[in-house]
Amino acid sequence: MFQTERRSPNQKLSAYSFTLDTAKAATEALQAVCESYDGEAPDATFTCAGAARPGFFVEMAEEDLTNGMTNGYWIQAWTAWVSRIRCDSLQVLIRDEGSLKDDGETE
């Protein structure tokens, strides 16, 4: 469905499904995605994660709270963290090629 939203025929839009509940898992997932782009990181990363388990807070067990934080927070946090590290590495390469302006563009 989202393929119709491409800006050009060369633009790649892909969806992946990975377990992202640890830093290691998120790192391995991003590496797998980069492999399909000839080692390059994607221009953008979006996460769609989480789960709903309706219930009353006072009736939840410790495991319910832990799973809720993992599924609702850590999955997105690890993905953003790993993506940021990858972006920082790319900016170092860009700086080596030319000067980096404040807006992230090279001169």
Q: Give yes or no for a contact between 97 and 106, defined as CB atoms under 8 angstroms apart.
A: yes
Q: Give yes or no for a contact between 100 and 93, defined as CB atoms under 8 angstroms apart.
A: no
3 state DSSP class of 11:
coil
In this prediction, residue 10 has a pLDDT band, given cuts at 50, 70 and 90, of confident
In this prediction, residue 88 has a pLDDT band, given cuts at 50, 70 and 90, of low
Distance, in Å, from the CA atom of 98 to the CA atom of 53, rounded to the nearest integer, reads: 50
Which has more confidence, 53 or 95? 53
Query: Where in 1-107 does DSSP place strands (E)?
Result: none
The pTM score is 0.66
Q: What angle do CA 57, 19, 38 make, to 5 degrees?
A: 145
Q: For residue range 46-78, what is the model confidence (pLDDT) as tens digits?
A: 777 667 788 899 999 999 999 888 888 898 899
pLDDT of residue 1: 61
Q: Which pair of tokens denotes residue 102?
A: 């404040």
DSSP state at residue 21: S
pLDDT of residue 93: 44
Name the amino acid, one letter, at 70.
Answer: T
Q: Where are the domains of the chain?
A: 17-53+66-107
